[in-house]
Structure 1
Amino acid sequence: MALKPEAIIIKRKRRGKAHAAHGGAWKVAFADFTLAMMAFFMVLWIIQIADQQERTVIAQHIQGDLFESGSINPFDLSSSPSMLDFEGQMTIQEAVIPTASTGAGIRGPALHNQIPEGTKDAKAGRGPELNAMVPGKFETQAQLELLAREIDRVIEDVSMTANVKLQVVPQGVRILMHDNINRFMFTRGSAEMKPYFEDLLMALGPVLSKVENKMSISGHTDSTPFAGKTFTNWELSSKRALLARRVLEYAGVENNQVIQVTGMADQAPYVVHDPAAAANRRIEMIIMTTDAETQLRQMTGLPVEKPAPSKELIDAKKLAEANQPRSRYPESWTKQ
């Protein structure tokens, strides 16, 4: 008996697609997207609450170009000003701070008239501090840079570096104290000085009182006008400059050391492309060299002061007069 072959049953199953392994890459991407959106909306919020002036300053901070090369009255400072680098970079001239070596013969580039007087702990000089600033006149580029560094130390001590700009220019040392978003030097629209600005001037007084150079002080405002006509930016800038001079005098600066106080209103903006910028509201002081002082005196009709002769010159003149040739015979004999 023959066996019947068994039927072969073939079952067809639909294959499912393999699922990809679940990773965390999408979480990282989503977190980056969320962070970017949060930063975007924060920028929109800041722009919404800030006025046009603050927006301009923010844009300048982002671009890294907050300060521009402006001009100062009555001199033109656009002729290659020497910007001091207080971060330890090389300057255009050698510093005048003496070396730590001992002995007057190896005191380095220190000038003889800038050596401290005294007899205690003498090193390169004759004073207790090797790098002390000696009262006197500052004329050369090296001397002006030394003075600017002393002023910069004072500015750092009162935490006002964000509001003060220092420049060494051919006319002397320019000290520019300006407003920014966080701090105003004066109450807006008035000559009421803020306490921290008064502290800055009081701290600068002892240093400036050691300087025999004449000083010029000028007040500046932004381009925002006043509603009335009796009180304008001219009066406001003048009052602020006069108040700054008064505080400096109270801090130790001699009355005759300030040779000029002017109010410039908005005629000399520091940020030229934005006359309404906060940095345009400022007080500028320039510690003038003798040449700059002479130029200012000639421009304003002030008498030009001649420098007093030094003691060495007076002694040399006396010796020369005493060493005149004398006649062999008495004067009475020559008249006969």
Structure 2
Amino acid sequence: MADEEKKEAEAAQTPENGEAAATETPPAEAAEGDAAAAQAALPPIIVIKKVIDEGHGGAHGGAWKIALADMMTAMMAFFLLMWLLGSTNEDQRKSIADYFRPTSHSQVSLGQTAGSSGLLGGTSIIDPEGFKFTAKQTALLERVTPRSEAGPSTSDGSSQDPKNREGKSEDLSKEEKKKVAAEVDKENFDKLEKEIKENMKENKQLAKLKDQVTFTREADGLRIDIIDKADFSMFPLGSDRLEGRAAALIREVAKSLKDMPNKVAVTGHTDSVSFAPDSGKNNWSLSAERAEATRKILESGGLSDKRFAKIEGVADTMPFNPKDRADPRNRRMSVKVLYQNVN
């Protein structure tokens, strides 16, 4: 018995299940420790970062400067164009366009559009429409100007050939000159009629008077008649004072006439209605006064006083409607554009 108790006491003092169990290391912690020990045993990883110094070539090359210069030039041209369009009128834009047009006949044919044909398109100095009444007259001048048969001439106009220094001139006869001048005038008369009609059409007030204006070709020129009607009269009854629309119409005629070289004759007409015997007036004086009033309006519209060849009043002797001399249409003003007198 004593031996058994002794063994039990020793067994109780042996640390198999007590302190030994309390100091035993958990498996997870043991694994972490093993991994740390293995990591410490490996050699360190060295990362090398290489920085290449390219100097100033990478970000400051010269290619971008060319592209920037092109863009800036294009933008400058664009904004300059916008400024020109906004700060100039139509005539100024035409002048700018004309500056870039060729002026030599060898470069562009007569009437051909040169330079800009868009918004900045204008009239070239060799465009016949730019000078409505001079293109044919230039041709006339070239034909009627004597030409020397002495060959080439020097800068002072003298012939290089001493034998032919006197020279002979090739000249047109008087009849040929008149024929050429008449052709020029006929074309100019057509342009004049077309221009007056178009200008009246564009004006709302004058457009109402289109039936009161007639154009008649005669042996001595183009006659433009401004005719009264029952509902329209240029002058008050018995007066030589032009009414508003009639004066505006005559100024429009003057505007179209002022660039022509032709002389102008103004004739006043009345109907057969006479004045009272004690009034001291008659249709002769009235028609002459109205012709003078018309001349003054033409002059104020831009027609030079040297352009007038004749101002006259014919009363009712040249009626528009011979069958009815009291017809209001017999009261009219005639502005005749005469053919040029070529001597």
TM-score for both structures, normalised by structure 1: 0.49
- Highest relative contact order (Cα 8 Å, sep 6+), 1 or 2? 1
Higher gyration radius (CA): 2
- Normalised by the size of structure 2, how large is the TM-score? 0.48
